[in-house]
């Protein structure tokens, strides 16, 4: 398999059919920012961003998906958000809002929030729908430290700081 991760080409690799994408990232590539939580596609701590050829993006769990399924794809992981030593806008907002405690769920929330921001930059949401939009986007991500409100507030703050970009 070959793929692009955070804009860089990797491969070709030979991988066993049953090797999960989570094990591939963490054990083959040493990219341990992608976490392993439930292993059952229930918590999304293992989610990465998949960039589609049509310019859209979505998140995907990696714990239950074979690495081979990502062959030819372009993905982003938590390691790719900071650029030149600078945290992304959303990462800064997570820090400023004390969104995380242990941080185990943070890569998944970060990837999901980033996908939402990029989607809204293309298709802005109505101001009245903002909270529902954020809630729907982050739904499914579990935080055992119960940081849900703080994550929500951080994403909301990024959007409200640039309403012309994200809101209709
Ligand atoms: S570890 Fe993949 S969804 Fe929980
Ligand atoms: S910050 Fe600990 S699981 Fe979310």
**Ligand 2 binding pocket includes 101 (Cβ within 6 Å):** yes
The CB density around residue 7, as the number of other CB atoms within 10 Å, is 9
The string of pLDDT tens digits covering residues 74-97 is 999 999 999 999 999 999 999 999
pTM of the model: 0.97
Please, which residues have CB within 8 angstroms of residue 138's CB and are 6 or more apart in sequence? 109, 112, 113, 116, 148, 151, 152, 155
**Ligand 2 binding pocket includes 142 (Cβ within 6 Å):** no
**Cα–Cα dist 156/113, whole Å:** 10
- Look at residue 129 and give its three-state secondary structure: helix
How high is the pLDDT of residue 69? 98
Q: What is the CA radius of gyration of the chain?
A: 16
- Look at residue 105 and give its three-state secondary structure: coil
- Residue 111 near residue 59 (C-beta atoms within 8 A): yes
For residue 3, the Cα-to-chain-centroid distance in whole angstroms is 17
The string of pLDDT tens digits covering residues 105-143 is 999 999 999 999 999 999 999 999 999 999 999 999 999
Rounded to the nearest 5 degrees, what angle is found at the Cα of 50, between the Cα atoms of 112 and 43? 45
**Ligand 1 binding pocket includes 63 (Cβ within 6 Å):** yes
The tokens of 148 are what?
């849900």
- Look at residue 159 and give its three-state secondary structure: helix
**Ligand 2 binding pocket includes 37 (Cβ within 6 Å):** no
How high is the pLDDT of residue 145? 96
- Of ligand 2's atoms, which has the minimum distance to the CA of residue 146? 4
**Cα–Cα dist 74/162, whole Å:** 28
DSSP class of residue 85 equals T
- Of ligand 2's atoms, which has the minimum distance to the CA of residue 101? 1
- Residue 3 near residue 11 (C-beta atoms within 8 A): yes
> 99 falls in which pLDDT band (50, 70, 90)?
very high
Q: What ligand is nearest to the CA atom of residue 150? A: 2
**Cα–Cα dist 36/52, whole Å:** 24
């Amino acid at each position: 398999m070959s793929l692009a991760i955070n804009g860089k080409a990797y491969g070709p690799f030979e991988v066993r059919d049953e090797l999960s994408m989570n094990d591939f990232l963490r054990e083959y590539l040493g990219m341990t920012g992608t976490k392993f939580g439930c292993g059952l596609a229930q918590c999304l701590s293992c989610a990465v961003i998949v960039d589609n050829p049509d310019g859209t993006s979505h998140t995907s769990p990696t714990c239950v998906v074979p690495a081979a399924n990502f062959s030819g794809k372009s993905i982003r992981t938590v390691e790719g958000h900071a650029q030149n030593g600078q945290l992304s806008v959303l990462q800064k907002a997570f820090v400023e809002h004390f969104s995380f405690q242990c941080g185990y769920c943070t890569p998944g929330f970060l990837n999901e929030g980033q996908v939402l921001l990029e989607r809204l930059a293309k298709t802005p949401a109505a101001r009245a729908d903002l909270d529902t939009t954020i809630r729907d986007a982050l739904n499914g991500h579990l935080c055992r430290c119960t940081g849900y409100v703080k994550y929500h507030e951080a994403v909301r703050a990024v959007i409200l700081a640039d309403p012309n970009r994200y809101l209709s």
